[in-house]
Amino acid sequence: MVSLQIGGNHFCGGALIREDFVLTAAHCAVSRQFTVVLGIDTLRGNEQTRQEFRVIRSIPHPNYNDLTNDIMLLKLSGRAQLTEAVQVIPLKTGRLSRCITAGWGDIGDNSTLANRLQEVNVTILTRSECQRRWRGVAIATSMVCGVGARSFQGFCSGDSGGPLVCDGATAGVVSFSGRRCGDPRTPDVYTHIPSFRQWINSVLNNN
């Protein structure tokens, strides 16, 4: 689990998919220099497991727009040292089951970031069911939708770019939700990683 920070302040999440590459959402791209922090559980602690890197290259998907292809790779200034607290997560293939999402995002839908890493179980919806609930928003095949175990439980501001983890592999990237966080009437939408395997592998192989 990765925290993207500007000036020590968390603004997006991400996942380490190679020692020198992080997967996140393209809408997390910022023009200012930002850092990648690994191996932490709390944002305001000074844990010995912490590792910090600069981002030397941001590679958003070439066809990214506000809603679709919301995926980006970040090349780090060095290679993370793999430890008990810092691990590379594999990319998911096949059917999605037993899913969770995690992050330090807003916990009360009131601009209050969590200090400790939060985690919620996610139930995956069919695309047709997600489309039915999201009236007026096209849910593409490159998206996957989920809801929390209870109403108003899901991701929120500050969780963007974080992983949807299914069966121990990363299957999605936190992309967008409705006006109220965790509202089952507007399910959480993730970028569907298996739809982008070819692009991800191409970037990794050429960097």
- pLDDT tens-digit readout, 62-99: 999 878 999 999 999 999 999 999 999 999 988 898 99
Classified by CATH at the fold level, domain 2-88+196-205 comes out as Thrombin, subunit H (2.40.10)
Would residue 70 show up in a list of annotated catalytic residues for this protein? yes
Q: Which residue among the candidates 10, 159, 160, 183 is catalytic per the annotation?
A: 160
Q: Which residue among the candidates 3, 10, 61, 70 is catalytic per the annotation?
A: 70
**Cα–Cα dist 143/70, whole Å:** 9
**Hey, which bits of 19-70 come out as E strands?**
21-24, 35-38, 51-60
Would residue 160 show up in a list of annotated catalytic residues for this protein? yes
What dotted CATH number matches 99-194?
2.40.10.10
pLDDT attached to residue 109: 63
Would residue 109 show up in a list of annotated catalytic residues for this protein? no
In residues, how long is the chain?
207
**Cα–Cα dist 10/159, whole Å:** 10
Domain coordinates of the chain in residue numbers?
2-88+196-205, 99-194
Q: What is the mean pLDDT of the chain?
A: 92
